[in-house]
Amino acid sequence: MNLKNIQIVSFNNPYPPNYGGVIDVFYKIKYLHRLDIEIYLHIFYDDRIDIENLKPFCKDIYLYKRDKSFIKFISKIPFCVSSRTSNQIYKNLIKNNAPILFEGLQSTQVLINNSFKNKIIVRTHNIEHNYYFGLAKSEANIFLKAMYFIEGEKLRKFESILNKANIILPLSRGEFDYFNKNYKGKAHFLPVFHGNDKVDDLSIKGDFALYHGDLSISDNIKAVRFIISIFEKVSHQLVIASSNIPTSLLKIIDKYDNIQFSKLEKDNSILNKLFAKAHINILFSNQQSGTKLKVFNSLFKGRFCVINNNITDDKEILSLCEIAETKEEFIYVVNKVFEKEYKQLQKREAVLKNYAPLGLANNFIDILNKNL
């Protein structure tokens, strides 16, 4: 086929692009538009209702309010799926014959009882049941732990909906291996869209270590507690940046003179300034769930990256980072890297050119043209 237009069903409003999944959606839209692909965007939303900055990229935009009523919680269908349904979306999707890209398993309920002449593509942002099992493991609250586990079990069973897809697009190599094994011939690896066109040219020294992430997520909260335990043993400065933070974490941070919290704004201006000033970007996760988008921002915009192996399963990306696993290893690596001068620009440019979003948009089009 010769792709000219596409329908995209998004699990949330991708604007502003200020957290993991929606960043991938937003920049996919932006760069497909740059390649003259006509986009019909369908959005399930909660409170993110600003679509003005999406209109320049889209032919039409349809909005569907999520239904979070109690009956959705007790459904056999996962809540993240059952809450994203609409009586109108099927009628809107069949208005034209453009392929339909579902962003995330959670946006696919319309596939259950409806048939389409359109070709179906699903962008898998995680192996969703593994992700929820990981959340359950990290969560301290017993009630939430049980809810995450139940949701994971529902998602494990619901995943068979992918048999209705013509193409599955995992964003990490480990997830590609999983989907390729379970849905043979349908999986095609497509790295995450992140919006960085070039690697920033920075001075050889920065001032502090930086952790950034969404601190409403239990895995990230647990990661920050681990990182704080590292910096209570070293003298270097640590900045923890997020748009939100639990009071319990703020109380811990207040105990240390070398650790501070920086509140992020929606437009990323503060985060970009922190990237430019940081000597180290430190990233840690308690669960393996593909490649965390934050590592791309850190490598394009920052200096050194110190991570554990759960942050990415991509050997090319790992080659640009310093790796540690235990608390003792992190302490050693952090102290060592603060003594080093940053001189990685050419190596990063050589590796990261394969992850530039315009190139990924071209790859997306090639995959569809060859397989639909």
Number of domains into which the chain is organized: 2
228 and 312 together in one domain: yes
237 and 304 together in one domain: yes
pLDDT number for residue 1: 87
16 and 138 together in one domain: yes
The whole-angstrom separation of Cα 4 and Cα 365 is: 9
Residue 71 is assigned to a structural domain of this protein: yes
186 and 277 together in one domain: no
Cα-to-chain-centroid distance, residue 341: 30
* pLDDT mean for each 10 residues of the chain (372 residues): 96 90 96 98 95 98 95 94 96 97 98 96 96 89 95 98 98 94 96 94 97 90 96 97 94 96 88 97 87 91 96 93 97 98 95 95 98 94
The whole-angstrom separation of Cα 171 and Cα 176 is: 7
What phi and psi values does residue 60 have, to the nearest 5 degrees? -145, 150
The CATH number of the domain holding residue 333 is 3.40.50.2000
- What's the number of CA atoms in the CB half-sphere (13 Å) around residue 281? 27
Provide the domain limits for residue 109. 5-195+356-371
Cis amide leading into 16 (omega within 30): yes
47's CB contacts (< 8 A; 6+ apart) are: none
Please work out, in degrees rounded to the nearest 5, the angle formed at the alpha carbon of residue 325 by the alpha carbons of 320 and 326: 145
120 and 11 together in one domain: yes
Joined together, the tokens standing for residue 342 give: 């940053």
122's CB contacts (< 8 A; 6+ apart) are: 101, 102, 104, 105, 108, 162, 165, 167, 168, 169
pLDDT number for residue 304: 98
231 and 179 together in one domain: no
pLDDT number for residue 287: 83
367 and 282 together in one domain: no
159 and 247 together in one domain: no
Nearest to 54 by CA among 28, 36, 79, 75: 28
In our burial notation (b when 16+ CB lie closer than 10 A, e otherwise), range 90-128 reads: eebbeeeebbbbbbbbbbbbbbeeeeeebbbbbbbbbbb
18 and 133 together in one domain: yes
Residue 201 is assigned to a structural domain of this protein: no
Joined together, the tokens standing for residue 21 give: 């999944």
